[in-house]
Structure 1
Amino acid sequence: MSDPNFDGAITGRPAGVTSRPAGQSNRLDSPILPPGLTDEDVVGRWLAAKASGRGRLSPATLAQYRTEAERLFWYAGQAGTPISAWTLDDFTAFVVFLQAPAPWAIRNPGVRRGSPDWRPFLGPLSDRSAGQTQKIVTSLFDWLRDVGYLQRNPAAGLPAVGRRLPEKQPRFLSPDDTALLREAIAARPERSREACLAKARDLFAVDLFERTGLRTTEAVRCRMGHVKIEPVPAELRREFPDAPPFQWLLRVEHGKGGKARWVPCDEIALSLQAYRMAYGLSPVPAPDETLPLLLSVRRTRFGIWKGLRSRTGVWNLITGLCDEALAYARAHRRRIDAERFETASTHWLRHSYAKGLAAAVSNGLDARAALENMGHSDLRTFNQYVDDEPLKRALATALARARGAR
């Protein structure tokens, strides 16, 4: 049975165009799939597999996979060749089409799905977007080969569009920037109960993202009960003699790719306690507490605190704080990089945390611990945050060369 959500995703296929039965040599009778499935049926099962199990995709990533499947089938219908009959030339033509679609393939703004004029493209894709499409579709063909539906992957050996080494990550807020955020929040007048709550919550939110590196989605899914205070046993105290008797940890149960992890959170312990007390809660969360980690300033009709339950809500909170800090700095005639605050977001604070970890690695922190804290699986991803200040690097270079010339 095909995935009903996927069936709805390809309603934009041009009228009168259907997938032809694939009798070409690349198509096989899979030993693990039911007979008689169409290409759409099989791809629907691929999407269903991507939505299942421990390594399932996030809803946002899964939506992107559906979009790419939709584009793929729309193009295949226009080309008149089912994907199970594609050759390397067919796949190459598809990649070229992504970067320079014909005018008839581009829909006008405002055209809704289901209209005869609807198309899955608003214009040519950038190198980066086309490369992402190619990567996802290539993984689809890998899966079709692995389940015995195809003999070969028609994308095998094709260089990825836009492939380049990751650029050093410049999008972060410095300690001075985040200090300004906190100063602007602390300077707010407390004219109402809601204003007091928002001040405590917002100070905690800055701490949370800057000092734990959580992704926005991870923060939305965290609950108060995910905070744990762990006593440090004697054997670890011998290894770390300056360690406190207790360590605060935060459980991220739904990280990227479904991976869970523990994140050290001693640095947010004080602001968490102040935030909770402002809301009339005990300073330390109970293990079974189900309240969201990021709370609204309003309650439900049953008297329970509401939470910030969407990525958009949290993004709006942090970008609003950046706008507030910018206005505060201007009102007090403070020199500030306005462009940074105008473009900053929650992910910039995650990058700030990563930058601090990169410095900690140079001071002896095991790189594997840094990767685990960030929820990364590849050191190359983490290395984007190392040496991400060209000006500082230029000054260090000049100083070292001057010393060498003496």
Structure 2
Amino acid sequence: MNDRVPPLPPPDGTRSSVGRVPDTPNRVQSPILPPDLSDEDVVARWLRAKATGRGRLSPTTLEQYRTEAERLFWYARQTGATVSSWTMDEFASYLAFLQAPASWAIRRPGVRRGSSDWRPFLKPLSDRSAGQTQKIVTSLFDWMRDVGYLQLNPATGMPTVGRRQPEKQARFLAPDDTALIREVIAARPELSREARLAKARDLFAVDLFERTGLRTTEAVRCVMGHVRIETVSPELRREFPDAPPFQWLLRVERGKGGKARWVPCDEIALSLQAYRMAYGLPPVPAPDETLPLLLSLRRTRFGNWKGLRSRTTVWNLITGLCAEALVYARAHLRRVDAERFEAASTHWLRHSYAKGLATAVGNGLDARAALENMGHADMRTFNQYVDDEPMKRALATSHARRNAR
């Protein structure tokens, strides 16, 4: 068993379902699983499968899957119906329970997993959270069916909990906001070598997130050698006659869901080169260069540059830059939206990139290219970034209606 996926706790210290004759026609003996497995054993194998291979889940997502499995078994024990015996009625009842759990299902704050007082809920789940739970549990039942443990998935055909159109994404920084952050960084005095390094690195970091849309985890995993300069072929030059002879690309080796992709990065080429030269590196990365893409201001004891290797460190960097920009704006009597700068983070810059892509789609960019750049699998997710300014839409509507009279 993978160390990151401990076995699910048995109900009340027993393995009551081991060896039990299936109490429902839906449960069958799988031709590819050992006989006499309990439901808990089967789900533990599902979690182990999710933790391995190129498409394995991240540790954070894997922990969410394990939590959902624990919640599922806890509910099944309370109702007395084993998971493998569920029909569509039991699954529908579970979905209703997620949004309105009984008072005895709510645990007190501070109660740890493993305690006899542990309960799977701190409060009723929101529509969004309940929908995510339904998605994960449905995928579990799909897997149980696919490996021959169940004949049918009892979640099939169930409407998604709280299904509604996602609100338009409002958590982004406008171009004027990011221009202010760059102005603040550029205005720093270069009183030391460390200050010069920080200025170059921080300007690059803002460019990286705003102009490539990388997730924080993706940026942390990238190394310098993932940046490539590729020659534009004659065929593509005929299709895009104004294209430059070369194109900068950034390889994301493992994005969300383990999916790899190439991201165009011409827009960060200049700041990348300035940043590298400030660190004493050649302006263009070598293909086999293993230095992290985001560097620390310090070296290892062997003289190599350290990298920013955690999401928290990068998050602190960007939120620190936003706070610095807010202080600068107030000192120079600049009008800014303080609440936005106080709330902004790396993901806000990703949303800024997505908003620019949404505009580009309106100007002719293939929507599939926009999805691939973002690493999205579903157009509905990307549609959050389209028309996310109600005031602009209101003014455009008024203008069009006046002209129609």
* Larger CA deviation: 55-64 vs 16-25: 16-25
Alignment pair present for 1:366 and 2:366: yes
| Residue 140 (structure 2) pairs with residue 140 (structure 1) | yes
TM-score by length of 2: 0.94
Q: Residue deviations 1:77-129, cap 9 Å, x none?
A: 22222101122222222222222223332222222233222223222211211
User: How much has 1:5 moved relative to structure 2?
Assistant: 4.6
Aligned twin of 1:106: 106
2:246 alignment counterpart = 246
Question: What's the C-alpha RMSD, in Å, of the aligned pairs?
Answer: 1.9
Deviation larger for 269-278 or 338-347: 338-347
Equivalent residue number for residue 307 of structure 2: 307
CA contact (8 A) 1:17 1:77 kept: no
Contact 2:7 2:44 (8 Å CA) reproduced: no
Aligned to 1:352: 352
CA distance in 2, matches of 1:372, 1:130: 28
- Say if 1:227 and 1:287, in contact at 8 Å, map to a contact too: yes
Where do 1:1-400 residues align within 5 Å?
Answer: 5-10=4-9, 13-14=11-12, 18-19=16-17, 21=20, 22-400=22-400
CA distance in structure 2 between the aligned counterparts of 1:311 and 1:7, rounded to whole angstroms: 24
Shift, 1:334, TM fit? 0.8
Contact 2:144 2:150 in 1 (8 A): yes
Superposition deviation, residue 336 in structure 1? 0.8
CA–CA separation in structure 1 for the residues paired with 2:88 and 2:352: 43
Q: Which amino acid aligns with 1:142?
A: D
Aligned residue identity for 2:291 = L
Q: Which amino acid aligns with 2:358?
A: A
Question: Mean alpha-carbon deviation: is it higher for 20-29 or for 290-299?
Answer: 20-29
What is the aligned-residue identity percentage? 79
TM-score normalised to the size of structure 1?
0.94
Q: 2-side partners of 1:155 and 1:3: how far apart?
A: 28
- Distance across 2 between alignment mates of 1:229 and 1:209: 19
Code of the residue aligned with 1:300 in structure 2: it is T
CA contact (8 A) 1:98 1:130 kept: yes
1:262 deviates by 1.0
How many residues align? The count is: 403
The SS at the match of 2:76 is helix
Deviation, structure 1 residue 257: 1.5
Change (3 A) 1:72 1:196: same
Residue by residue, what CA displacement relative to the aligned partner does 1:206-236 show, whole Å, maximum 9, x if unpaired?
A: 0001111111111111100000111223333
Query: Aligned to 2:166, what secondary structure does the other structure show?
Result: coil
Q: Which amino acid aligns with 2:25?
A: S
Post-superposition Cα deviations, 1:27-58, rounded to whole Å, max 9, x if no partner, equal 10011111111111111111122223333222
